[in-house]
Amino acid sequence: MKNVFIPKTSTAKISVGLIWLFHFSGLMGILFIDRELFLETTPVNLFITIVLLFVNLPDVNKNVLLAALVAFVVGMAVELLGVNYGLIFGQYVYGDNLGVKVGGVPLLIGANWVMLTFITGAVGAVFFKRAVYAAAFGALLMVLLDLVIEPVAPKFDYWEFANDTAPLSNYIGWFLVAFPIQWVYQTQVKRKDQAFSFHLVLIQFLFFGVFSLVQWAS
């Protein structure tokens, strides 16, 4: 199991190198160069990262596309309910640094649901062979990642909750929504990418974790 997270092909090595480079450059740029300029590149960074994710999938077939479609549609649907009606996650609004919006929700957020489902699900499948356990682990990773991002999301003009704090219902809602999406991923995507996914999960925790610590210390 210890070797599945090591990139083996040239494509995987280049892809992993690129996402580390992008995120490290973004980290340095936001902290020390031009915060607004680097934050405005978020949609480009996220789009390239999602493309690299699919490039590294061992097999892109109809089942993979079905899992991606379910994650995108369900993710967008619950976000629309949240932004417009305050349901599931609580009352919040999206800022301007995530690109074009539909009904107040950036389209890239739907794509982000796909990316998070695939990368956390791939890591979960390493530790748990049964789909239900892997799905639960993947959903938990998604909640933990959201927990790390929430403190800095308003500062980055990603999104902001009413009263400036994400309610407990946000994290409960994340798990309840993420679990069935993860179940679809685990049961439909038989050949999973694990090296690229592991590095991207790790990068996400480190990137947003640094900014959460900086904010806490300031």
Nearest by Cα to 146 from 97, 75, 40: 75
Whether 189 has a pLDDT exceeding 90, the answer reads yes
Whether 1 has a pLDDT exceeding 60, the answer reads no
pLDDT in tens, 97-106: 999 999 999 9
Whether 78 has a pLDDT exceeding 90, the answer reads yes
Q: What is the pLDDT of residue 215?
A: 65
Q: What percent of the chain has pLDDT over 90?
A: 80
Q: What is the mean pLDDT of residues 173-184?
A: 97
Whether 117 has a pLDDT exceeding 90, the answer reads yes
Amino acid at 129: K
Q: How many C-beta neighbours within 10 Å does residue 16 have? A: 21
Q: What is the pLDDT of residue 83?
A: 96
Sorting pLDDT into bands at 50, 70 and 90, what band is 197? Answer: very high
Whether 217 has a pLDDT exceeding 70, the answer reads no
Nearest by Cα to 117 from 68, 176, 166: 68
Sorting pLDDT into bands at 50, 70 and 90, what band is 37? Answer: confident
Q: Which helix (H) or strand (E) holds 52?
A: helix 42-55
pLDDT in tens, 141-160: 999 999 999 989 998 999 99
Q: How many C-beta neighbours within 10 Å does residue 19 have? A: 20
Residue 49 · residue 22 · CB < 8 Å = yes
Sorting pLDDT into bands at 50, 70 and 90, what band is 163? Answer: confident
* Mean pLDDT estimate for the chain: 92
Q: What is the pLDDT of residue 213?
A: 82
* 109 burial type by CB count under 10 A (0-12 exposed, 13-18 middle, 19+ buried): buried
Which residues, including other chains, have CB under 8 Å from residue 114's CB and lie 6 or more apart? 50, 68, 71, 72, 75
Sorting pLDDT into bands at 50, 70 and 90, what band is 31? Answer: confident
Q: Return the ∠ at Cα 182 (arms to 173 and 102), rounded to 5°.
A: 60
Whether 214 has a pLDDT exceeding 90, the answer reads no
Q: What is the pLDDT of residue 211?
A: 87
Q: What is the pLDDT of residue 102?
A: 95
Q: What is the mean pLDDT of residues 182-203?
A: 95
Task: Give the global pTM.
Answer: 0.94
Q: Are strands 105-106 and 159-161 parallel, antiparallel or unpaired?
A: unpaired
> How far is Cα 100 from Cα 22, in angstroms, rounded to an integer?
22
What is the domain partition of the chain in residue ranges? 10-217
Nearest by Cα to 203 from 123, 139, 136: 123
